[in-house]
Copies of this chain bind each other. A is one copy, B any other.
Amino acid sequence: MQKEIELFRDGLKKNNLKVTRQRLRVLEAFLKTEKHVSCDELYRLIRGEHPEIGYATVYRTLKLIQEAGLAREVDFGDKVLRLEHEYGHKHHDHLICLACGKFFEVFDPDIEALQEKLAKKQNFTPVRHKMDIFGYCQKCQGKSASCV
């Protein structure tokens, strides 16, 4: 966490941006949660301890956190922008339960290799990818999507 804070400060300095109390609070809150958090969720978390920090500041700081390479966007198909930790977290893909909403992080080097190959075959230079598998987790076997 110390390393992340340092990277954040460096990212700010590099762009002539200021290190503020609010920005540090937002970063800390983001680093503390291991979920795939939305801006709104993070704002509500922070509000408990720091009700003086506004939504816009959380929103803007999340952009800065992304720019510093500490977070990446994930999309679970629920129309909400979510962020997950990037620093110290290797690339992975997701299994997402249609019933309970839980997700699992997975990684398969064979799939990754085939993805490279697939792109190259089309003379396409891959930069990044997103692979999300939707279905039912062990606990939700047999349930339909409606059981929340």
Task: Answer whether residue A95 sits at the interface, using C-beta atoms and an 8 A cutoff.
Answer: yes
* Among candidates B110, B118, B132, residue contacting A106 with C-beta atoms closer than 8 Å: B118
Q: Which of A7-15, A34-42, A48-56, A133-141 forms part of the interface with chain B?
A: A133-141
Task: Answer whether residue A77 sits at the interface, using C-beta atoms and an 8 A cutoff.
Answer: yes
Task: Answer whether residue A90 sits at the interface, using C-beta atoms and an 8 A cutoff.
Answer: no
A68 to chain B, nearest CB (A): 18
A72 to chain B, nearest CB (A): 12
Q: How many residues of A contact B (CB 8 A)?
A: 32
Q: Which of A23-31, A57-65, A119-127 forms part of the interface with chain B?
A: A119-127
The reply to whether A125 and B136 form a contact with Cβ atoms under 8 Å apart is yes
The reply to whether A131 and B129 form a contact with Cβ atoms under 8 Å apart is yes
Q: CB within 8 Å of B: which residues of A? A: 75, 77, 95, 97-98, 104, 106, 108, 110-111, 114-115, 118-119, 122-138, 141
